[in-house]
Structure 1
Amino acid sequence: MGFVSDTPEKQEPTQTYEQAREELADVVRRLEAGGLPLEESLSLWERGEELAELCRHWLDRARERLAAAQPTD
């Protein structure tokens, strides 16, 4: 899915946010262009879902870091 794990509890992405976003945009372009066999379209859709999850992971981590950096009242 785009993660590497030393242990089941700790998973680290193998792609940066930017790499995942760029690949996701390519997947979307290919799907929108159409003309692909059904099986290839399904594979692309599944890859797109994986990439979207990876992007969410990176964005969630960024939000956590921003929240931790903000002063508390």
Structure 2
Amino acid sequence: MSKIKFVVPAVIAVAGMLISTAPSSAKPADSVKTKQKCAVCHVDAKAKPKELTAAGKYYHEKKSLDGYKGDK
């Protein structure tokens, strides 16, 4: 009985974490493809990876920086 009191909440917690985490959309291959540093598209790639610059928003929409007129 005591194992069940530990296992069930642990399974629920792990399942909740797996369900609630969003998959990453930026990949190291993106910086190789664009030949740009992460900071071109991300405000702070480590602390706030989902906060995008204007270039990042453009890349997210177009999947390329070709034609982007802002600061590269």
TM-score computed with the length of structure 2 as normaliser: 0.30
More helix by share: 1
Q: Which has the larger radius of gyration?
A: 2
